Amino acid sequence: MSSEGREPHLNAQAGRWVGASVPRKEDRRMLLGRGRFTGDLTRAGMLHAAFARSPFPAAEVTGIDTSQALALPGVAAAFTAADLGHPYLAAMLERDEFTPTRMPVLAGDQVRFAGEPVAMVLASDAYTAQDAAELVDADWRPLEPVPSIEAAQDSAARQVHDALTGNCLVDLTMFDDPALPGILAAAPVVIDAVFRSARVAALPLEGRACLAEWDDRDQQLVLHVSTQVPHQVRSGVAQALGIPEHGVRVIAPDVGGGFGLKCVVGREEIAVAGTARRLRRPVSWVEDRQENLTASFHGHEQRYRVRAGFDRDGRILGLAAEIDCDVGAYSAFPFTSAVEPLMACTELPGIYKVPAYRARGRAIATNKAPTAPYRGVSRPQIVLVMERLMEKAAAELGIGALDVRRRNMIGPGEFPYTGVNGISYDEGSYRESLDLAETQVRKTFLNGTPAAESGGLMTGVGYACFSERTAYGTPTMSQRRMAMTPGYDTALVRMDPSGEVIVTTGTCGHGQGHETTFAQIVADRLGVHPAQVRLRQGDTDLASYGWGTWGSRSIVIGGGAADRAAAVVARQLRQVAAHLLEASADDIELAAGSARVRGDDRAALPVGELARIVHFQTHRLPEEFRYGLEARASFDPPGTFSNACHAAMVTVDPGTGEIRLRRYLVVEDCGVVINPMIVDGQVSGGVAQGVGAALLERVRYSEDGQPGSTTLMDYLAPTAAELCPVRITHLETASQFSETGAKGMGEGGMIGAPAAVLNAINDALRPAGVSFDHVPVLPAEVCAALAGDAADVGRAGGDQDKRPV
């Protein structure tokens, strides 16, 4: 039985835990409200932090007075940037095209977005701290805000940072094929188009939170923080406060989602750590939703100006793209603001065989909250661009849009394929997933059709085919030239005297179900039950060094390291069993909790008994086996591509412009599936985020840089009412670059959904001769477009966003 009292089902066919829908170990404590999140932690004498934030998108700060705040009963301290010694975070890229800038922990003489912290107040309770923060008095000299890509690129624009030119934090030109202009000039069909996606919020259920305390015994700062990357937070704190890494211990307790928002280091976290160290008192900060929406990190605000040439059969001949990413006011640590343009430039061709290519990608600084690598990182956008291009070429040529895709996609027999972007694509099922999705659409979407149910509505079906590069190891990440280059990960597997197993990894799950899936992998190696395997992540003093959880890296890299370490422990167990059973280690198999001599059921010892002997009766073993049961391993793959085809069906009400999602299906291939139920959950959650990005979500700023999406009344996350069930089918093309054969997949749902939904909307609107090339598509825009007005009505903000009724 599992620790939760439910019997997980073994993958009976294979006799393995891998491949079984083992119920999530973490669910019981979560569902019973017994999870332990940072905000649940409390300490005697703890102070609560609140931040005084800028009301201006851009201003000089000519003076700050904290005296009124300090006078409020219950307030213990207040700090400005000067009081803290002007600490800052500096994310670095070792590229000439990158202009380094600093993100101050508290803004000093200039603020660069509305919501930027300028002072910090510590009080005996959170309410007093908040009241006191409002009493901080600052003198501001407002500056002309730079609220958009267009404003930032205006030749007369003010520079968000003095060091910038054209407000450009990074300006990359990649794969600049000299033949491309000629190819495009001669192409029989040329598509010129502009694609846009709105700024969105990652919206984890748990916002950011931290609690820092001073440990006198170890002379160490201990920071509990809701993060995806504990070791990188340690580096950020150490660098910003000027202390050695061993002076900081970072612990991530249960983390209520991150979606990329928490794989960067927040300035508030540094401020809390620094003041706890200074005062030698515990300090806690829990972000509220308004801060989360206005003062944390956003993502995905991008504009693509694209020119693509096709031949008369719909084959793409060349592709040129100018990609501008509105990354807000600062480069986030440690990934830098280059993460979106780099990803977009490198991976735009996707699954299509583009013979000639050029991309220019820029990170544009604006007076808005900074951005982080939000789920998908540019891939929802590049997939949208390529999938729209396929549709446009098909329409131009009068060929079926799925056929145009088939003619261009990397086909069976062409793997491994090295693209014009230098990327090597491992074996996938691009063609099969599209074929299967098309068959399923015919069978399920168009039967009992919602069009019939819905009289008067316009119905459309849209597809998106894509691959998701996952498990970016050092060979891939080093090409980005970050000063801190992520890649490998490590794991330690240790069996205790009762045969229970502890696994530590440098990955740091925050909702993905790692406690379950890592246990499945290790249980298979050691022949034990997954309930006997416990995963420990997220403590920099105890867990192995690693790069945390992002980029759908954990199961391939962390799981691969755990698999390798478990294989060593399995060998140790086999050697001990062989000695005790007087057999050869090669003849010992580990299964169902025992070590057995293969072919002889009577010659068996329980794994727990072996563990007891190894620890308590070492004298029964030869000296060379007296090493405990423990191993450490690392894994650093080049990366592997999972793939999927999404299909969506929508209806559009021409009277109100309302768009409803009616059907959704995914055919996905993430190699060997460790836990199908968890993968389904990941796909469904990602699809919900992608549908939100297509239909509802946008972080609005007014033309003068004021945030307009400050509560969940104005920022519309999708609810069950706007979604529909997602039908998921798995194909399994095992990866040769992965110890387990698994490929990552944690972002795929989000990557495919915006393009599939946008294509479905355009399919529905086709009879009216109307189409859109941006997300989200809002009802007012549909109405305006159907009435013949400019298609972009309502995009600049001003309108309050509303849910369909």
Q: How many C-beta neighbours within 10 Å does residue 682 have?
A: 25
- Does residue 745 touch ligand MCN according to CB under 6 A? yes
Contacts of 690 (CB under 8 A, 6+ apart): 376, 380, 749, 750, 751, 752, 753, 754, 756, 757
Rule CB under 6 A: choose which of 57, 551, 705, 718 binds ligand MCN. Answer: 551
CA torsion, ordered 251, 254, 255, 257, to nearest 10 deg: 150
Element (H, E) at 673: none
Residue with tokens 């007075």: 65
Q: How far apart are CA 397 and CA 409, in angstroms?
A: 18
Helix extents (H) in 147-266 = 149-153, 180-186, 230-241
Rule CB under 6 A: choose which of 213, 387, 747, 763 binds ligand MCN. Answer: 747
Q: How far apart are CA 33 and CA 516, in angstroms?
A: 19
- Does residue 553 touch ligand MCN according to CB under 6 A? yes
- Nearer Cβ to ligand MCN, position 562 or 578? 562
Q: How far is the CB of 49 from ligand MCN (least distance, A)?
A: 24
Show contacts with ligand MCN in window 362-391 (CB under 6 A): 375
Rule CB under 6 A: choose which of 501, 694, 742, 758 binds ligand MCN. Answer: 742
- Does residue 675 touch ligand MCN according to CB under 6 A? yes
- Nearer Cβ to ligand MCN, position 57 or 748? 748
Show contacts with ligand MCN in window 59-88 (CB under 6 A): none
- Does residue 257 touch ligand MCN according to CB under 6 A? yes
Q: How far is the CB of 669 from ligand MCN (least distance, A)?
A: 9
Q: How far apart are CA 695 and CA 717, in angstroms?
A: 10
Rule CB under 6 A: choose which of 678, 683, 764, 784 binds ligand MCN. Answer: 678
Closest CA to 405 of 268, 313, 271, 524: 313
Q: How far is the CB of 499 from ligand MCN (least distance, A)?
A: 24
Stretch that binds ligand MCN, among 164-172, 363-371, 630-638, 742-750 (CB under 6 A): 742-750
- Does residue 517 touch ligand MCN according to CB under 6 A? yes
Show contacts with ligand MCN in window 177-206 (CB under 6 A): 204
Q: How far is the CB of 47 from ligand MCN (least distance, A)?
A: 29
Element (H, E) at 540: none
Rule CB under 6 A: choose which of 11, 429, 505, 512 binds ligand MCN. Answer: 512
Q: How far apart are CA 369 and CA 116, in angstroms?
A: 8
Stretch that binds ligand MCN, among 130-138, 246-254, 333-341, 738-746 (CB under 6 A): 738-746
Show contacts with ligand MCN in window 460-489 (CB under 6 A): 470
- Nearer Cβ to ligand MCN, position 65 or 732? 732
Rule CB under 6 A: choose which of 334, 460, 671, 776 binds ligand MCN. Answer: 671
Binding mask 259-298 for ligand MCN (x = CB under 6 A): xx--------------------------------------
Rule CB under 6 A: choose which of 670, 687, 688, 694 binds ligand MCN. Answer: 670
Stretch that binds ligand MCN, among 64-72, 345-353, 356-364, 508-516 (CB under 6 A): 508-516
- Nearer Cβ to ligand MCN, position 709 or 740? 740
Q: How far is the CB of 742 from ligand MCN (least distance, A)?
A: 3
Class of residue 520 by CB neighbours under 10 A (exposed 0-12, middle 13-18, buried 19+): buried
- Nearer Cβ to ligand MCN, position 606 or 681? 681
CA torsion, ordered 218, 220, 225, 229, to nearest 10 deg: -100
Q: How far apart are CA 127 and CA 271, in angstroms?
A: 19
Rule CB under 6 A: choose which of 370, 460, 513, 692 binds ligand MCN. Answer: 513
- Does residue 41 touch ligand MCN according to CB under 6 A? no
**Beta strand 298-299 pairing with 200-201:** antiparallel
3-class SS shares of the chain: helix, strand, coil, % to 5: 30, 25, 45
- Does residue 552 touch ligand MCN according to CB under 6 A? yes
- Does residue 673 touch ligand MCN according to CB under 6 A? yes
- Does residue 511 touch ligand MCN according to CB under 6 A? yes
Q: Is the torsion defined by CA of 607, 608, 613, 614 positive or negative?
A: positive
Distances (CA, A) of 569 to 424, 575, 770: 34, 10, 62
At 245, list the tokens: 């890494």
**Beta strand 168-174 pairing with 357-365:** antiparallel
- Does residue 555 touch ligand MCN according to CB under 6 A? yes
- Nearer Cβ to ligand MCN, position 430 or 772? 430
- Nearer Cβ to ligand MCN, position 119 or 338? 338
- The 3-state secondary structure of 695-739 reads HCCCCCECCCCCECCCCCCCCCCCCHHHCCCEEEEEECCCCCCCC
Q: How far is the CB of 518 from ligand MCN (least distance, A)?
A: 7
Strand partners, 700: none
Q: How far apart are CA 451 and CA 593, in angstroms?
A: 55
Contacts of 160 (CB under 8 A, 6+ apart): 58, 112, 146, 152, 167, 329, 365, 366, 367
Q: How many residues bind ligand MCN (CB under 6 A)?
A: 37
Which residues sit at the interface with ligand MCN, rule CB under 6 A?
204, 257-260, 375, 470, 509-514, 517, 549-555, 670-675, 678-679, 682, 685, 742-747
